[in-house]
Structure 1
Amino acid sequence: MQIRISWPAGHLIATLENTPTTQALGKALPLVSTAHTWGQEVYFDTGVSVSRETDARQVVEPGTVAFWTDGDALALPYGPTPISRGDECRLASPCNVLGSVDGDAAVLATVRDGNPVRVELIDE
């Protein structure tokens, strides 16, 4: 499944694996939310509530599309967060890994705290 995430200064495309969390998110799309930033991570509420999956991870690669079950939010890390060790992308707590950003995740640096964010399915 592919999704488009848009904000005032840009957009990106992400490819998601077929997981229980991805399926729940897909049913909620399209959605509009408000962006929050935490170090080099963008996250926003989805209104979707799911359980943490068995393969949830706290340290991920830049550009990972993660679902933060503690906050019902998509988390999009593109660099270190305030709790990272070195250059790693360390999320606030273990998150369900859904997929990854297509291309350079550094475009997320143009997202500002409080920006409106839209997430929509791309027709396949």
Structure 2
Amino acid sequence: MANEIRIRITWPANQLTATLEDTPTTKALVAALPIAASASTWGEEVYFETGVSVPRESDARQVVEPGTVAFWTDGDSLALPYGPTPISRGDECRLASPCNVLGTVDGDPRLLATVRPGDPIRVELA
């Protein structure tokens, strides 16, 4: 895909990159970069506020694959699931509500398990 966008997500214990698709939400997010926030966790999901407010897109999904980069419109937050959340059925990644899907983490999304609540987290173009 010609218009893919790569971001780097950094926290004290680690970092990873992700490849995003060219969507309206991705454009709004990239325009706000770099973003610095405080991480929250919910089951095996990391999320944090972005200061970006966008509407839910028509293809928003609640159940996604581990490593999906999702935008939670209800909380103006990036949601990065790497395993089950408190509302998952079985091993699925079930988000709090339907989220705009932006792309996927490059490599192993389980690196996100090293994020601790309250960790400073930074997102910038890779």
Distance of 2:6 and 2:88 partners within structure 1: 28
**2:119 pairs with one of 87, 109, 115:** 115
Distance of 1:31 and 1:15 partners within structure 2: 17
**2:32 pairs with one of 28, 31, 36:** 28
Describe the SS at the equivalent of 1:25. Answer: helix
The runs of 4+ residues in structure 1 deviating greater than 2 Å are: none
TM-fit CA distance, 1:78: 0.1
Distance of 1:63 and 1:111 partners within structure 2: 14
Distance of 2:76 and 2:120 partners within structure 1: 17
Structure 1: gaps (5+ residues): none
**2:77 pairs with one of 66, 73, 76:** 73
Structure 2: gaps (5+ residues): none
Describe the SS at the equivalent of 1:22. Answer: helix
Amino acid at match of 2:57: E
Describe the SS at the equivalent of 1:55. Answer: coil
Amino acid at match of 1:108: L
TM-fit CA distance, 1:57: 0.0
TM-score, L = length of structure 2: 0.97
Aligned residues: 122
Cα deviation, 1:40-95, whole Å, max 9, x if unaligned, reads 00000000000000000000000000000000000000000000000000000000
Describe the SS at the equivalent of 2:30. Answer: helix
Identity %: 77
- Aligned-pair RMSD on alpha carbons? 0.2
TM-score, L = length of structure 1: 0.98
